[in-house]
Amino acid sequence: MNGETILRCSKCGAKNRVLISKLSSNPKCGKCGETLSYPDGAVSISEVDMGKEVMEETLPTVVDFWAPWCGPCRMMGPVLEEIAREYSGRVKVVKINSDDNPGLSLKYKIQGIPTLILFRDGKEVDRLIGAAPKEQVLQFLRLYPVAG
């Protein structure tokens, strides 16, 4: 990673290039002056939010398809939350409950959970299927300069 990230302003939609070292100083949008925000943990969404939270997102976004009854999914939850906090402002982690959002599971051809899909600029670039340790998830992210 080159030490920068791009954050979209939630007010005006402008893309803002921000030094990662400056994320903690509440950077402002260069166009409208609004404080730029980004999640500091995993974000749970539904089908209604997919466009804004994933397809229009400027940060590389990992979408976790999971279900509350799934043991491996529950094991992955804390790992993904930790990654979301550690790489806040550089990667976004989104959680989608497959049981509550069957249309998204069908659209993305989810055949087993947990399934992680990595999106960049609204396009799927890779998948990781099944439970994986943190190191493997970070390796998955390193393939597309996000983490590390």
Q: C-alpha 23: how far from its chain's center?
A: 17
12, 29, 32, 70: which one is catalytic?
Answer: 70
At residue 57's C-alpha, the angle toward residues 12 and 112, to 5°, is 155
Tokens, residue 25 = 């100083």
Q: Is 9 a catalytic residue?
A: no
**Helices 134-142 and 71-86: crossing angle, nearest 10°?**
60
Q: Is 29 a catalytic residue?
A: no
Please state, in angstroms and rounded to a whole number, the distance separating the CA atoms of residues 63 and 50.
10
9, 12, 32, 73: which one is catalytic?
Answer: 73
Tokens, residue 104 = 């998204």
Quickly list DSSP for 43-73: EEE-GGGHIIIIIT-SS-EEEEEE-TT-HHH
Please state, in angstroms and rounded to a whole number, the distance separating the CA atoms of residues 83 and 98.
21
Indicate which residues carry an active-site annotation.
Answer: 70, 73
